[in-house]
């Protein structure tokens, strides 16, 4: 079984609670990689019998890092219209016998109508993915779960700005679906790393993912690499943001994302 499929193999406890069992396959420095929370939130609703439509927007607020072990995912359908649903989720773990909130999330699902289509953004011009070398994986475990082919913004080097372009996909390759796309939306390296050339203390506070791709477009991607681009807008008083885009091999915009992060850095 692919490590992501093992991660999102949820078990219902009751209609409003699902259970996940996490190991360290996606371990970061002090807890699970943030994309784990995003994937679990999406999968919890995708597998709920009340679910209608496909993910449209996801906001994940990180309280404390998910540890390995059991996670209780509490979900509540807050409201719905003929075409949308609004879900609230809480990811909880026990610490010393007490429940602790790890992640709070909101997911909007939508049934997409046929109609007008226009994309204002354009994908960056890139060579074919096979012509961009695979970046060595290492440092933390979650990096081993992805294949990165970076053209600009390679971590470990000092860059003049925070703009990066490249390719990313699950490793080993796996057909793309909504939980995987949610997790991949957090795969952008912290922008501060690109400015300093080193690993600085950082933590994601909040992440929003906007799903532009339809289910058919996501299925058409298969296990091909996604074209990714990201940049920060401002660093100020210990916090920074970044925006990201994930494009299909066919040039379809599948996801835009935003994050707010805490960081610590003392310029020399």
CATH of residue 173's domain is: 2.40.160.210
pLDDT given at position 91: 98
Q: Range of 158's domain?
A: 3-112+131-263
Q: What is the DSSP string of 68-126?
A: SEEEEEEEEEEEE-SSEEEEEEEEEEEETTEEEEEEEEEEEEEPPPS--------PPP-
Partners of 73 in the β-ladder? 18, 91
Among the listed residues 242, 231, 235, 258, the one whose alpha carbon sits nearest the alpha carbon of residue 164: 231
Q: Is 214 a member of any domain?
A: yes
Note the pLDDT of residue 265: 87
Does residue 79 form part of some domain?
yes
Task: Give SS3 for 262.
Answer: strand
H helices of the chain, where? Answer: 3-7, 34-46, 178-184, 191-196, 215-221
In tens, the pLDDT along 132-188 reads 999 988 789 999 999 999 999 998 899 999 999 999 999 999 999 999 999 999 999
Residue 125 inside a domain? The answer is no
Name the domain count of the chain: 1
The pLDDT of residue 268 is above 70: no
The upper half-sphere exposure of residue 151, i.e. CA atoms within 13 Å in the direction of its Cβ, equals 16
Asked if residue 118 is part of any domain, the answer here is no
Q: Which residues contact 186 (CB under 8 A, 6 or more apart)?
A: 33, 34, 35, 38, 204, 207, 257, 259
d(Cα 93, Cα 36) in Å, to the nearest integer? 14
Prediction pTM value? 0.96
């Amino acid at each position: 079984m692919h490590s992501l499929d093992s991660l999102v193999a949820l078990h219902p406890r009751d209609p409003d609670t699902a259970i996940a069992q996490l190991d360290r396959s996606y371990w970061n420095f002090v807890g699970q990689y943030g994309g784990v929370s995003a994937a679990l939130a999406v999968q919890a609703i995708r597998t709920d019998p009340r679910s209608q439509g496909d993910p449209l927007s996801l906001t994940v607020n990180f309280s404390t890092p998910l540890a390995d072990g059991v996670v209780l995912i509490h979900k509540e359908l807050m409201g719905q219209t003929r075409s949308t649903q609004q879900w609230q989720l809480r990811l909880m773990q026990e610490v010393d016998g007490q429940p602790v909130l790890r992640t709070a999330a909101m997911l909007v699902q939508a049934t997409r109508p046929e109609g007008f289509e226009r994309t204002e953004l354009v994908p960056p011009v890139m060579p074919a993915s096979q012509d961009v070398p695979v970046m060595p994986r290492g440092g933390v475990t979650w990096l081993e779960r992805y294949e990165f082919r970076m053209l600009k913004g390679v971590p470990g080097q000092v860059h003049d700005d925070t703009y990066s372009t490249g390719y990313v996909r699950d490793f080993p390759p796996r057909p793309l679906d909504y939980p995987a796309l949610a997790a991949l939306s957090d795969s952008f390296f912290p922008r501060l790393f690109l400015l300093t050339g080193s690993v600085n203390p950082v933590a994601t506070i909040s992440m929003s993912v906007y799903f532009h791709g339809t289910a058919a477009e996501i299925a058409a991607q298969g296990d091909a690499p996604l074209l990714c681009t990201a940049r920060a807008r401002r660093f100020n008083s210990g916090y920074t943001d970044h925006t990201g885009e994930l494009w299909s091999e066919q040039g379809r915009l599948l996801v835009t994302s935003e994050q707010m992060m805490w960081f610590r850095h003392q310029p020399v």
